[in-house]
Amino acid sequence: MASTIKIKNGTSGAPSSLAQGELAININNGSLFFGTENSSLISSSFTFSHVTASGIIKAEHLFSTDDIEATDDITAGGKVQASLSDGFHLGGTQAIYVDGGVFHFGAAGANTHIDGADIELDATGDIDFDAAGNDIKFSKSGTTRLTVNTLRGDITASGGITSSGDISTGGHITASGNISSSGIISANTTFKTQNGNVISSFGTATIIANTNGSTQIQATELQLNTTSGDIKFMDSSTNQLQFDLDGTSGEIIIQLKVDSDDLVFKQYDGTEVLRIGDDATISATKNKFTVTGDTDGTHQGDVVYFGGTTSMTTGAIYHYKSDGTWELADADAASTSDGLLAVALGAASDTNGMLLRGMVTLDHDPGAVGDVLYLSTTAGDATATAPSGNNDIVRIIGYCLHASNGQIWFNPDNTFVKVTT
């Protein structure tokens, strides 16, 4: 048999008093009240083992010691709280929880997606992405743009990598575009481009290590600065050639470091032009000499530094004496004109040198262009006229190249003729 239960009702606020157990309802907003042990105390808090509704449940405070399940919206004007360790579940899967004071989003055994127009992570401390050795991927419309491998520490990007500060990794940084930073870019291994080349840039200089094993250094100016003073050229960790910049005062030493090797200079087409042998011999395919200038002692050719002679006349011809010093050559006698002849290149033989053969400018004009030149009976001179006096020595010493500037080809003949009248 149907029956109607009608409870006390009103249209504004809570009733002023209710008997213990008496119910009242605000018919404007649906608020439900009941009387407590004290009739002047009205309560609107109800406790239920289970509440099931096909529509919306609204409450100023809704509290449950067990699960809250809804097939529709749960709307709250205040806090929605859950057990820290168990957290909030979505579709039966743990979604948000706290473990050890750390906030977790997503379940350990399930994929987690965050979708939004803009996603902003703002922390006063570190933001830690832990993929347990797997990849952390940043994608656009399903296409991966940036991958961080948490096992190796590699960073791979399909575009450029730009930073206003430092970029540092213990693994690889790989990008199909540019890698740029206003700070330092550092890695324990390499920077690789899409084609496999390794590129490092420092100001206006660029170092490119190509996949074929070659290395390019591109710079407006390249400086090699070593605190030890040595620059070494290695082949498979073996020092082949060394520049010693400060080993001996006043000298820069270029030294082969492998015994029996020759130092060879070649032209662009591979033609050898100069070889310095392991036996200290020097061989060249050709020696290029040009006519010297008009300054006395200007020269090109073979020069020696010995004899210990000073106060010499630059551009004069000298004879090497039996006592190991130099004297002015003179065709008046064999004793001052036989043997070794040379042109003084300055005041001191050991400092300025003595030209044995080559182009040189004398301190006098010996003849006309093309003349055969002889040692003169005027000490230290050459002449285009062969000496003819009794006991004079006729010895060819070269050829005249200029009529008024003293320029000659100096190449003394090893033989001579003594004039007898």
Task: Assess whether 322 and 402 both reside in one domain.
Answer: yes
More confident residue, 70 or 217: 217
**Shared domain check, 402 and 313:** yes
Cα atoms in the 13 Å half-sphere on the side-chain side of 272: 11
- Among residues 313, 316, 326, 329, which one has the least CA distance to residue 364? 316
Percent of the chain scored above 70 by pLDDT?
A: 73
Residue where the block lists tokens 């296409």: 143
The 10 Å Cβ neighbour count of residue 370 is 10
The candidate with the shortest Cα–Cα distance to 317, out of 216, 395, 418, is: 395
The answer as to whether 140 is a domain residue is yes
pLDDT of residue 203: 61
What is the residue type of 295?
T
Interatomic CA distance for residues 187 and 160, integer angstroms:
17
Same domain, 309 and 408: yes
Does one domain contain both 203 and 252?
no
Q: What average pLDDT does range 74-100 have in this prediction?
A: 67
Pair (152, 206) in one structural domain: yes
The answer as to whether 152 is a domain residue is yes
The answer to the question of residue 47 being in a domain is no
pLDDT digits (tens, 9 = 90+) for 238-290: 999 999 988 777 888 899 999 989 999 999 999 988 899 988 888 887 778 88
Residue type present at position 402? H
Domain ranges, residue 174: 135-218
Regarding whether 399 and 313 lie in a shared domain, the answer is yes
Give yes or no: residues 166 and 248 share one domain. no
The radius of gyration computed from the CA coordinates of the chain, to the nearest angstrom, equals 51
Q: Is residue 400 part of a domain?
A: yes
Task: Report pTM.
Answer: 0.46
Domain membership flag for residue 90: no
Q: Which of 360, 357, 364 has the alpha carbon at shortest distance from 378?
A: 364
State the Cα–Cα distance between residues 410 and 16, nearest whole angstrom. Answer: 137
Which residues are within 8 A (CB) of 319 and not within 5 positions of it... i.e. 6 or more apart?
326, 327, 328, 329, 330, 336, 337, 338, 339, 340, 341
Residue with structure tokens 């002889």?
A: 374
Residue after which a domain boundary falls, among 162, 193, 218: 218
Q: Is residue 365 part of a domain?
A: yes
Examine residue 27 and state whether it is found in any structural domain, yes or no: no
> pLDDT tier at 110 (50, 70, 90 boundaries)?
low
Q: What tokens were used for 160?
A: 């450029």
Tell me: do 333 and 369 sit in the same domain: yes
pLDDT per position as a tens digit, 199-211: 665 566 677 767 6
Total number of domains in the chain: 3
Q: Are 147 and 128 in contact (CB under 8 A)?
A: no
Residue 168 lies inside a defined structural domain of this protein: yes
| Closest among 291, 313, 328, 329 to 408, alpha carbons compared | 291
Lowest mean pLDDT among 13-22, 209-218, 363-372: 209-218
Query: Residues 311, 377: one domain?
Result: yes
Indicate the average pLDDT of the chain: 81
SS3 411: coil
Q: What is the pLDDT of residue 96?
A: 73
For 187-231, the pLDDT digits (tens) are 555 555 555 555 665 566 677 767 677 777 777 887 888 888 889
Summarize the confidence of residues 75-99 as an average pLDDT: 67
Confidence of residue 330 (pLDDT cuts 50, 70, 90): very high
Among the residue ranges 24-33, 167-176, 222-231, the one predicted with the least confidence is 167-176
- Looking at the structure, tell me whether residues 213 and 234 fall in a common domain: no
Residues 270 and 332 in one domain: no
308 and 401 housed in the same domain: yes
Q: Of 197, 22, 352, 98, nearest to 9 (Cα)?
A: 22
